């Protein structure tokens, strides 16, 4: 396998030196011991492809003339010289921690990390850290074996418990060092991955032989770079139950409006995909798409039109939608939770009350309104078949990377290919619905709702889209050039 990047790389798709999980395990290997010293990456610099130094001196980045950017993940050999063997099975002492909110699939990831380490690499020492980041220094640990985790994928939640906040870098790394832990698997969302990045930097500063691997978790699907996060498919599937209930209720009464609030603090992916999957939704409101209530083209006018046409309607609203209207109406101060997330007002109750107040002024058009909030029901269920398979792939990918000596990375599929991604790439921004993209246009076509946008909103969205567009891979760039 080629361990270099050719200096003649241009528009052709470059060959990457990669770690192939297919060859990670051989049942004939004695004691499941591994030496991965041959997998340390090297780059050739030339006039056409140069390493970026200066402020990115610690990042292994290659810029190509075709516009692509290649970036390798950190490796233990980057700061521990003369490392002959990265990890032998009998020396591995791993730990797993879950942080942040609940998400379908957490227990599946825990199970597959434990079983993967045990059956593929012969690792027998795995600890579960209770209660999130603060569990490193304030809670007990749980020994994890294949027998302990055998059936946990059938349950919702996390057997390790979780929490927000509690991140004390010094105490966490002290605990890792004192316990002799040398592999840390951190499962959590964007805030958790930021914490994992800080832990990795402190471990590197101390020169410890400890691999830190992240498994991105968010029900909102708002982690960038990766194609999707685990638990998202399950959340969309479960949201259908609430939407179907709202549809049944609305059809059973005259002028009935079913309002369903779904998760989506900053990103409306669950609401958008659940709406597209349902086909029973008349209006979908998400954080990325501004809307207004009164006046021509407003939400109230659309509700009246739809009730006159069919006598009922279903509205799906993400929890982060319309927060500017709530703050303006209620004049509230912004507050944050322990993870630094903005505490949101209940937009579902607010918009339900606003709709009732509007139609109370129109006695000739009395309405019924049914409000359904399945938020915590959706995230507390076990993962479905699709997410179970996905969680297994993520867990095994993290294991292979850590055993090979890589560190400071998170795992996930990028354009359909599972990849190791440096922490800073998944924490520098949030993934959001692009309302000028095709998927949102498909939703508007499905619901036949107005966009609630004016020209200023569209221009602003396009500017944000350009500024947040991730760096092109060589393949994507070549495809773009070919279509021009």
Query: Of the listed 220, 222, 233, 387, which one is catalytic?
Result: 220
Bridge partner list, 461: none
CA–CA dist 342, 265 (Å, integer): 9
Is 403 part of any known ligand binding site? Answer: no
Distance CA 408, CA 75 (A): 8
Instruction: Say if residue 297 carries a ligand binding annotation.
Output: no
Does the annotation list 158 as a binding residue? no
Instruction: Kindly write down the DSSP assignment for every residue of 230-263, as one continuous string.
Output: BTHHHHHHHHHHHHHHHHHHHHHSTTEEEEEEE-
CA-based torsion, 300, 302, 307, 312: positive or negative: negative
157 is in an annotated binding site: no
Ligand-binding annotation for 264, yes or no, is yes
Angle at 424 between CA 142 and CA 120, to 5 degrees: 45
Residue 166 assigned ligand-binding role:
no
Q: Is 333 annotated in some ligand binding site?
A: no
- Which residues pair with residue 114 across a beta bridge? none
User: Annotated catalytic, 53?
Assistant: no
Closest C-alpha among 427, 394, 413 to residue 191: 427
Instruction: Please state at what angle helix 106-121 crosses helix 385-403, rounded to 10 degrees.
Output: 50
C-alpha–C-alpha distance, residues 1 and 4, integer Å: 9
Element (H, E) at 225: none
342 phi/psi in degrees, rounded to 5: -65, 130
Query: Is 263 annotated in some ligand binding site?
Result: yes
Residue indicated by tokens 């659940």 = 274
* Residue 273 marked in a binding site: no
Residue 331 in marked binding region = no
Does the annotation flag 379 for ligand binding? yes
Tokens of 317: 């609203």
Residue 367 annotated as binding site: no
**Any known ligand binding at 101?**
yes
Phi-psi region of 68 (alpha: psi -120 to 50; beta: other; left: phi over 0): beta
- H helical segments located in 3-92: none
Q: Is 113 annotated as a binding residue?
A: no
Q: Which residues are annotated as a binding site for Mg(2+)?
A: 190
- Binding-site residues from annotation: 101, 164-165, 189-192, 218-220, 263-265, 319, 376-379
- Annotated binding-site positions for ATP: 101, 164-165, 189-192
Enumerate the active-site residues.
Answer: 220
């Amino acid at each position: 396998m080629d361990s270099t990047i050719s200096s003649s790389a241009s528009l052709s798709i470059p060959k990457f030196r990669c770690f192939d999980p297919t060859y990670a395990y051989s049942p004939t290997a004695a004691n499941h011991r591994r030496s991965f010293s041959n997998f340390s990456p090297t780059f050739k610099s030339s006039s056409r492809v140069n390493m970026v130094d200066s402020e990115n001196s610690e990042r292994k980045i290659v810029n190509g003339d075709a516009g692509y950017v290649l970036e390798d993940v950190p490796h233990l050999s980057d700061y521990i010289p003369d490392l002959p063997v990265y990890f032998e099975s009998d020396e591995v002492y791993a730990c797993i921690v879950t942080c942040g909110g609940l998400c379908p699939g957490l227990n599946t990831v825990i199970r597959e990390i434990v079983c993967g380490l045990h059956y593929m690499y012969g690792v027998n020492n795995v600890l579960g850290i209770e209660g999130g980041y603060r569990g490193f220094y304030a809670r007990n640990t749980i020994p994890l074996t294949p027998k302990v985790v055998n059936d946990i994928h059938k349950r919702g939640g996390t057997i390790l418990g979780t929490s927000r906040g509690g991140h004390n870098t010094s105490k966490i790394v002290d605990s890792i060092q004192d316990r002799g832990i040398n592999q840390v698997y951190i499962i959590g969302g964007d805030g958790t991955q930021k914490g994992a990045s800080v832990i990795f930097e402190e471990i590197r500063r101390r020169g410890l032989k400890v691999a830190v691997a992240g498994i991105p978790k968010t029900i909102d699907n708002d982690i960038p770079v990766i194609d999707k996060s685990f638990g998202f498919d399950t959340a969309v599937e479960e949201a259908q139950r609430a939407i179907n209930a709202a549809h049944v209720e609305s059809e059973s009464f005259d002028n009935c409006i079913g309002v369903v609030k779904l998760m989506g603090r900053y990103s409306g992916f669950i609401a958008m995909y659940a709406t597209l999957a349902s086909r029973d939704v008349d209006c979908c409101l998400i954080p990325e798409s501004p809307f207004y209530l009164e006046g021509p083209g407003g939400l109230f006018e659309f509700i009246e039109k739809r009730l006159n046409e069919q006598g009922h309607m279903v509205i799906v609203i993400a929890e982060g939608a319309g927060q500017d209207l709530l703050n303006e109406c209620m004049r509230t101060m912004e507050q944050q939770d322990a993870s630094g997330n903005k505490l949101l007002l209940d937009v579902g109750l607010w918009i339900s009350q606003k709709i009732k107040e509007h139609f109370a002024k129109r006695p000739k058009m009395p309405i019924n309104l049914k409000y359904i909030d399945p938020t915590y029901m959706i995230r507390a269920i076990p993962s479905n078949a699709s997410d179970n398979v996905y969680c297994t792939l993520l867990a095994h990918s993290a294991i292979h990377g850590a055993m090979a000596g890589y560190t400071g990375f998170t795992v996930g599929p990028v354009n359909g290919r599972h990849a190791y991604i440096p922490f800073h790439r998944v924490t520098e921004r949030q993934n959001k619905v692009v309302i000028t993209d095709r998927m949102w246009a498909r939703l508007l076509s499905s619901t036949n709702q107005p966009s609630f946008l004016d020209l200023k909103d569209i221009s602003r969205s396009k500017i944000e889209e350009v500024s947040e567009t991730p760096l092109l891979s060589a393949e994507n760039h070549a495809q773009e050039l070919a279509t021009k």
